[in-house]
Structure 1
Amino acid sequence: MNITLRQLEVFLAVIDTQSTTRGAEKLSLSQSAVSSALADLENQLGVQLFERAGKRLIVNENARLLFPRAQALLEQAQELENLFSDGRSILKIGASTTIGNYLLPAVISRYREKFPGIQLELRVANSADIAEAVANFEVDIGFIEGPCHRMELESQLWRQDELLLFCAATHPLAGKTVSAEQLAQCQWILREAGSGTREVVEQLLLPQLHHFNLVMELGNSEAIKHAVSHSQTVSCLSRAVIAEQLESGRLATLQLQGMNNIVRPLYLIRHKQKHLSRSLKVFLDVEQQVKQYNYSPSA
């Protein structure tokens, strides 16, 4: 068997574009060259990788099985080239909003200081979207708020994060311990559905409040804390998000009677069939160093 890296590159391009024509454009090859390489690959493997429906190519189970292995081989080949050239590796990280905006910047800064030759791309979205990106191999690794139950992904506990109930410093309940009835009557601003923060808030608070008087949903934690600071509303976000406003006195916390601190786990996820590249191993090593020396569960 003489499978070539070019055949695997063609295979991945066709999967990405769902067309030999667009795959050829992506690789700057002729359409006939792409079709020939794909046919040779199928002949050598002895299986059909796509179902043909007119001009459309539909991925079948054989292609899904080959995909992560082909991608891993090409990544390893790229690593070999980077060892002996000025080529720059690209590491793609996905992170939920809170993690990407408040917890990962210190890691990324340290990583870039130590390894300036490795390009890093950070995608920030809600936890559901990041899990989807990891599952589709769009990012190398993901950091999310809350557990992930997708069978194709490997999940491990990363950190613990404290969530705080808060309001404007001028709110009548600022700094007080309140009953579930009082909190249920408050006007709430919450993150959007699909957010890890929203999921935890609903799991832990909704059983006690029975309902939220929800007046606004926002897809950005920055927008929420500023909206709360200028209104008579309440919300719940990570301590890391509102630490500066608490210190300046613009925001204040409130405590639900009978409830201890709200602590949630944060998770690191990656595809079970994802090749652990050298650049990714280095990033995880740096992340562990930063976590060990700079992270506090209450920060």
Structure 2
Amino acid sequence: MNVLRLTLRQLQIFVAVARCGSTTAASAELALSQSATSSAINELERLLSMPLFERSGKRLLLNDNGRSLQPQALAMLDCAAQIEQMARDGLAQTESLRIGASTTLGNYVVPQLLGQLLGQLHNTSATWHSKVLIGNTKSICNAVAAFELDIGLIEGPSHHARLTATPWLRDELLVVSAQPNPRCLSLNALRDAVWLLREPGSGTREATDQMLLPHLQSYRRSIELGSSQALKQAAAQGLGLTCLSQWVVGDFIASQRLHRVITTLPKMSRQCYFVVHQDKQPTPALLRLMTLAVAFAHAQGGPKTALPTSTNHA
């Protein structure tokens, strides 16, 4: 058997330098001296017989070799972290799960899913830990791609080549306003309206742009806000029209603080997905969550979705 020359510490330092862009910043993050960090990178490049970075002043930028190594290094470090977790807590007794969710799913759907998951964990695991990170779709996908999260529940398609995306729930999007209007609004009226929008990078904004802009061409007057809750409240104050998930505005429509706007636009809905890294080694907790997610979507009237093939063997 060949003796391995690479160490996890070298890969950890490589990943940190790639993320930070310099040995100085990476050494501060890792609590190492700058010289030790530089030496580790130089030794790694020597062992691999190839450069991993382009040097530009004090900046270190990944070259083609480094970009090829980065996902493999991240996958190895993720596996090592799982082994350490097993050693600390005992495989048979502890399950941990890091979940990411884009904003709408995180606020309105994930709590229901977590309730089912934790109900099972209470009966099967002596100890368990779950962490939920809520952000926009882009940030969640980035975190899953970097192995910082085990799974992401997102409100739009993934644009990461290394993520496996499985269709999940469908979400209807509604145009709403503070004032009831029984008449159908024309395209000209919609073009002249003030639109309340999420920031670029959010799944809601991507879906809104895809569904509205082919008809409106542009938003002539708009306000960007960083959360769907803020959009809902702003619309209820009469600041403009907004297009949001049925899950977000359902309570305000029921209480008549918001009203559906009748338009000539086609019915708007979006596909939600759950994403995992294609190199992720699925844990029992991750498989359990994905199985629950598929059953949850089916109970909501969706089709029975198969789990990603990369997880079926585990």
After TM superposition, the score normalised by the length of structure 2 is 0.76
SS of 1:118's partner is strand
Equivalent in the alignment of 1:242? 249
SS at match of 1:117: strand
- In structure 2, the CA distance between the partners of 1:161 and 1:20, relative to structure 1 (3 Å rule), is same
**Residues 115-130 of structure 1 mapped to structure 2, 5 A cutoff:** 117-125=128-136, 127-130=137-140
Q: Give 1:122 deviation, angstroms.
A: 0.6
1:95 aligns to 2:106 (yes or no): no
Q: Structure 1: any 5+ residue segments left out of the alignment?
A: none
Query: 1:36-55 to 2 correspondence within 5 Å?
Result: 36-53=39-56, 55=58
Q: Would the alpha carbon gap of residues 281 and 41 (structure 1) be closer, same or farther in structure 2, given more than 3 Å must change? A: farther
- Quick check: 1:68–1:274 contact (8 Å CA) kept in 2? no
Residue 190 of structure 1 corresponds to which residue in structure 2?
197
CA displacement at 1:77 relative to structure 2: 2.2
Q: Which residue among 211, 218, 230 is the counterpart of 1:223?
A: 230
The letter of the residue matching 1:233 is G
- Aligned counterpart in structure 1 of residue 155 of structure 2, from 122, 140, 145: 145
Secondary structure (helix, strand or coil) at the match of 2:158 reads coil
3-state DSSP class of the match of 1:84? Answer: helix
| Aligned twin of 2:187 | 180
Q: Does the 8 A contact of 1:19 with 1:55 survive in 2? A: yes
Q: Per-residue CA shift, 1:98-141, capped at 9, x if unaligned?
A: 2222222222344445265224141312x344344444555443
Which residue identity does 1:14 align to in structure 2?
V
1:57-78 deviation line (CA, Å, top 9, x unaligned): 3322222222222222222222
**Structure 2: segments with no counterpart, 5+ residues:** 303-314
Alignment partner for residue 58 of structure 1, among 36, 58, 61?
61
Residue aligning to 2:311: none
**Alignment correspondent of 1:17:** 20
CA contact (8 A) 2:23 2:37 kept: yes
| 2:240 pairs with one of 212, 228, 233 | 233
Q: Which residue of 1 aligns with 2:89?
A: 86
Instruction: Report if the CA contact (8 A) 2:101-2:134 is conserved.
Output: yes
Residues in 2 aligned to 1:38 and 1:243: alpha-carbon distance in whole angstroms: 54
> 1:42 & 1:282 partners in 2: Cα distance?
40
The one of 54, 74, 78 aligned to 2:77: 74
Moved more, 17-26 or 229-238: 17-26
Q: Is the 8 A contact 2:200 2:206 kept in 1?
A: yes
Q: State the shift of 1:33 in Å.
A: 4.3
The answer to whether the Cα contact below 8 Å between 1:190 and 1:214 also exists between their aligned partners in 2 is no
Aligned to 2:309: none
**What secondary structure sits across from 2:114 in the alignment?**
helix
SS, match of residue 256 in structure 1: coil
Question: Retained in 2: the 8 A contact 1:189–1:233?
Answer: yes
Give the Å deviation of 1:236: 1.4
2:96/2:128 contact within 8 Å kept: no
Aligned counterpart for 2:110 among listed residues 76, 91, 104:
104
Identical columns (%): 39
The separation in 2 between residues aligned to 1:28 and 1:194, in whole angstroms, is 33
| Deviation of 1:224 (Å) | 1.5
Letter in 1 for 2:228: S
Taking the aligned partners of 1:91 and 1:288, their CA distance within structure 2 comes to 17
One-letter amino acid of the structure 1 residue matched with residue 65 of structure 2: N
Contact 1:96 1:124 (8 Å CA) reproduced: yes
Name the aligned partner's letter for residue 207 of structure 2.
Answer: V
The residue aligned with 1:261 is: 267
Give 3-state SS (helix, strand or coil) of 2:89's partner.
coil
Letter in 2 for 1:61: D
3-state SS of paired residue (2:10): helix
Residue aligning to 2:174:
164
Q: Distance in 2 between matches of 1:55 and 1:262?
A: 49
Post-superposition offset of 1:244: 0.9
Tell me the alpha carbon deviations over residues 244-273 of structure 1, each in whole angstroms, 9 at most, x when there is no partner: 11122222213224x453121122334444
User: Alignment RMSD, CA only?
Assistant: 3.2
Q: Deviations over 1:68-102 (max 9, x none)?
A: 22222222222223223238876443332222222
